[in-house]
Structure 1
Amino acid sequence: MNLVTIQFTAKVWVYPGKGGWHFLTLSLAASKEVRSIVQGVTGSWGMIPISVEIGNTRWRTSIFSEKNSPKYVLPLKADVRKKEKILANQKVRAWITIEL
């Protein structure tokens, strides 16, 4: 198994719909790196299973393509935001690891 880790910093944003989901959008450079790694390996709806590390918290989730954009988005679960004291519009450094 190959592990590829990509680090990026992004500002937390809130989806303006029901549920108030919080996300990070990967930078264009990080998104291009992801795309080059997973060519032809993506799951349903272009979701890519990953593990994430922010601060002292590590969890498994998926990133997916942002609508009408070459970038990927990473959902931030409420319990992670609470543990790491993450707020909307805050800049956050994250490490994502893709298992191939």
Structure 2
Amino acid sequence: MELEFTGEIYYWRGPAPHHFVAVPEPECAALESAAALVTYGWGMIPATVHVGRTEFTTSLWPKDGGYIVPLKAAVRRSEGLELGDTVTIRLTVAAQGRVRK
């Protein structure tokens, strides 16, 4: 599954403070339909992410009925991104050879 969307970078001060971009609702619906095939637990979905010319692997986090994409500091530095910037994100989600029962 490949998805592309645009969103604003925000900072979440939760138990694991980090910068994120929220996945829009239509894309969350697509992710939800594939989640049982790809999640490795806790609703986390492994993904390859492209931001600008940077590619990295991470996991999408479930939050408030949707998903959020963590943006690593190295990615933000490499692409010159800051809090509040709007970015285009391309996600590739593929089954990891695990099927949940």
Fold-level match, TM-score > 0.5?
A: yes
Secondary structure (helix, strand or coil) at the match of 1:44 reads coil
| 1:5-20 aligned within 5 A | 5-17=2-14, 20=17
* Preserved contact between residue 10 and residue 25 of structure 1 (Cα < 8 Å): yes
The alignment's TM-score, normalised by the length of structure 1, stands at: 0.87
Letter of the aligned partner of 2:90 in structure 1?
W
**Change beyond 3 A, Cα 1:86–1:42:** same
Structure 1 runs of 4+ with >6 Å offset: none
- Identify the residue that residue 74 of structure 1 maps to in structure 2: 69
Letter of the aligned partner of 2:93 in structure 1?
I
Q: CA deviation at 1:75?
A: 0.6
Secondary structure (helix, strand or coil) at the match of 1:38 reads helix
**Change beyond 3 A, Cα 1:39–1:78:** same
Map Cα deviations across residues 32-67 of structure 1 (whole Å, 9 max, x no partner). 11111223542121111110001000011100101x
- Identify the residue that residue 99 of structure 2 maps to in structure 1: none
Q: CA deviation at 1:18?
A: 7.1
Q: Answer with 71-80 or 16-25: which moved more.
A: 16-25
| 1:1-100 aligned within 5 A | 4-17=1-14, 20-66=17-63, 69-100=64-95
d(CA) in 2 for partners of 1:89, 1:78: 14
Letter of the aligned partner of 2:33 in structure 1?
S
Letter of the aligned partner of 1:99 in structure 2?
A
Percentage of pairs with the same residue:
29
CA-based RMSD? 1.6
* Preserved contact between residue 6 and residue 96 of structure 1 (Cα < 8 Å): yes
The alignment's TM-score, normalised by the length of structure 2, stands at: 0.86
State the number of aligned residues.
95
d(CA) in 1 for partners of 2:83, 2:15: 16
